[in-house]
Amino acid sequence: MRKIELNARRQSKAIWVGSVTIGGGAPIIVQSMTNTDTRDVMSTINQIKELEEVDCELVRVAVPDMEAARAIGEIKRGISIPLVADIHFDYRLALAALEAGCDCLRLNPGNIDEPKKVSAVARAAKERGVPIRIGLNAGSMPKKVNPEMSVAERMVEAALEQIRLLESLDFDLIKVSLKAFDVPTTIEAYRSIAEKVPYPLHIGITEAGLPRTGIIRSAVGIGTLLYMGIGDTIRVSLTTHPREEVIAGYEILKSLDLRQHGPVLVSCPTCGRTEVDLFRLAEEVADRLAVIKKPIKVAVMGCVVNGPGEAKDADIGIACGKGRGVLFRKGEKLRTIEEKDFVRALMAEVERL
C-alpha cells in the first residue's frame, strides 16, 4: 500500500460547484447543511444567509419531496453561495433539483443504486455540468455489498461501484464521501478510497453529536485525515444550529494551518498565579473578536511572569497581574494598563494592526 506522506496534500481532480472549486489543490472548502424545512423558502434563505455571515462556502439542503426540489430555484435566487441538493430514495427528486438549478447533487448509493436511475440522473447532470457527490453513510449501506467485509471496505466497495457506473457514462464530475460515526472506520475508508480514485473528497464524521463532544469527534476524524493530506471539503455535523458547524470547520483548518480565517485567540488555562477573572476576560475578548475578519493572533494570559513568553508569537496580547496588566506585541512589552481598561486597550491595538 502506498504510504501517504504526512502533510502532503493528496492530488485530486478539480471540480466546480457553482463558483466554488473543490479539489485540484484549491483551498479546503467549509460547508454546512440547513436544518429548516426546504419547502419553507424564506426560513431556508434566512438560515443560509446566517451561514453566509460566518463565511460558509457551500450549503446543502434536504430534498425530501417534489415541493422541496422545486423550492430550490427560489432559494437560489435569495442566496450567494452554491447549493447542493441532498437526495435519497427517489431519483426523480434529483432530476427535479437539477431542473430547479441546484449546483451539485448528493446521491446516496445506499438507497439509489439502480443503474437505470443513476444513469438518468448522470445524463441530466452532465448536460448542465453539475457534479454529483457519491455520499455513503455507514448507517445506510447498499444491501448487496458483501457483509463479510468491514464497514469501511463495504463503503469503499459501494462507492467504487457507483463511480464505475458514472465513469461508464463518461461522467467524471464526481466528489466522494464515506462517513461513519466511528472515527477509525471513517479514516480507514477515506484512506482506502483516496488511493483508488482521483476525485475530490468531502470529509466528515457523520452524526457527530452535540457540540461539546461532536466538535472533538469531528476534529479528531477530520483533523487526522487532513493531516494525512486527505480532504478537499469538510462538513462538521453537529446537533445544533449549522452556524456552529461552519465555525468549528474553520477552527479545524486553522489548527492545522491549512486556512486562515479571522482571529485566533490564545488564552491560558489559569493557575495558582492568576490574580484576575481571566475566564470572563477571555470570553469578553472572544465576543469582541467574533466580528473581526483579520487573521490575527490575540493572547489573553493570566500572569506577567510567563504570559508574554508563552504567547510570544501572538500579534497582540495582554498578560494580567493584580489590578494591572502588560500589553504586549509579539512578546515585546508595549505598556502597563489598568484592569478596567483591559478590553478597550486590547481591542484598540487589534484595530490598529
DSSP 339: G
Does an H or E element contain 120, and which? helix 115-128
274 binds ligand SF4 (CB under 6 A): yes
Judged by CB under 6 A, the residue of 271, 290, 348, 353 near ligand SF4 is 271
Q: Rounded distance, CA 197 to CA 184, Å?
A: 20
269 binds ligand SF4 (CB under 6 A): yes
273 binds ligand SF4 (CB under 6 A): yes
Closest separation between CB of residue 306 and ligand SF4, Å?
4
314 binds ligand SF4 (CB under 6 A): no
Within 197-234, residue ranges assigned H as helices are 211-227
The answer to whether 247 touches 255, Cβ cutoff 8 Å, is no
Shorter beta-carbon distance to ligand SF4: residue 250 or 328: 328
Q: Rounded distance, CA 305 to CA 104, Å?
A: 54
- Tell me the CA distances in angstroms from 301 to 9, 306, 334, 343, 350, one per residue in order: 35, 8, 15, 13, 16
Closest separation between CB of residue 346 and ligand SF4, Å?
16
- Compute, in degrees rounded to 10, the torsion defined by CA atoms 99, 100, 102, 104: -20
Closest separation between CB of residue 282 and ligand SF4, Å?
11
Number of alpha helices (DSSP H) and beta strands (DSSP E) in the chain = 11, 15
The answer to whether 49 touches 22, Cβ cutoff 8 Å, is no
Total residues contacting ligand SF4 by CB under 6 A comes to 13
307 binds ligand SF4 (CB under 6 A): yes
Shorter beta-carbon distance to ligand SF4: residue 160 or 337: 337
Judged by CB under 6 A, the residue of 97, 252, 301, 326 near ligand SF4 is 301
Interface map 218-257 toward ligand SF4 (x if CB under 6 A): ----------------------------------------
Interface map 182-221 toward ligand SF4 (x if CB under 6 A): ----------------------------------------
302 binds ligand SF4 (CB under 6 A): yes
- Tell me the CA distances in angstroms from 163 to 167, 168, 292, one per residue in order: 6, 9, 42
**Residues found near ligand SF4 in the complex (CB under 6 A):** 268-271, 273-274, 301-303, 305-307, 310
